[in-house]
Amino acid sequence: MVVFDCDSTLTKIEGVDLLAELKGREKEVKALTEMTMNGHLLFSQALHQRLEMVKPTKKELLWLGGQYIENRLSDAREVIARLKEAGRKVYIVTGGYREAVEILAEYLGVKKRNVFALDLKFGKNENYLGPNWKNPLSQHDGKREILRRISKQGKTIFVGDGATDLETKDVVDLFVGFGGVVVRPIVKENADVFLEELSLLPILKIVQKGRKT
């Protein structure tokens, strides 16, 4: 299996930061994002604070899905197609919001059932009510729990940019740190492999060189 994070990995943006721009809270939200991605703040703490600042509507998440596609890595679709042609199962595991992530996933050719993302609750007018705290991804070590489940199916590579991705290192066969969009020191120092170019094509080489998934 090959598993990808979404923001700053498959796409060049951080979705929550883009939503924050719409609400005039960009500076505060971006600071929380950086603290979380660099391992200085628990994801569950940042999640609540950022969502209270942004309070995204369903309409805004659909808009964000389009932004994900517009800002995708240029070779993401090709890489995923080639992995699937080679018989690899491809997943997306992310702290991003499901409505937006599934739009990108469909464009890239990843099945909805292979997408693990945050679920938000909405009211009758599609206004934000809060996160679904039962979703493992709303909790600290949520990605690690999801990757632990996926890895039971066979050898697994996880590709991600942030500290929450790095937390999965002990439950996957290979953790690939992705620094093509942003280099996070904690990830660069601790990843099994670290990529700095703005391309996912090296993933194909990693698989082809015998790091079986």
Q: What is the DSSP string of 170-200?
A: GGSSEEEEE-SS---HHHHHH-SEEE-SS-S
Whether 173 is a known active-site residue: answer: no
| Residue 119 DSSP code | -
Token look-up 């059932």 returns 113
Alpha-carbon Rg for the chain in angstroms: 16
Give the H or E element holding residue 117: strand 115-118
Query: Is residue 179 within 8 Å of residue 194, measured between CB atoms?
Result: yes
Q: Tell me the C-alpha to C-alpha distance, in Å, between residue 23 and each of 18, 28, 48.
A: 9, 11, 16
**Residue 71 — φ and ψ, nearest 5°?**
-105, 20
| Residue 31 to residues 6, 25, 40, 191, 208, Cα–Cα distance (Å) | 19, 10, 11, 23, 38
Among residues 7, 17, 161, 165, which one is catalytic? 7
* 5 catalytic per annotation: yes
Q: How far apart are CA 112 and CA 177, in angstroms?
A: 24
8: left (phi over 0), alpha (psi -120 to 50) or beta: left
Catalytic residue among 5, 17, 161, 165: 5
Instruction: Please give the positions annotated as active site.
Output: 5, 7
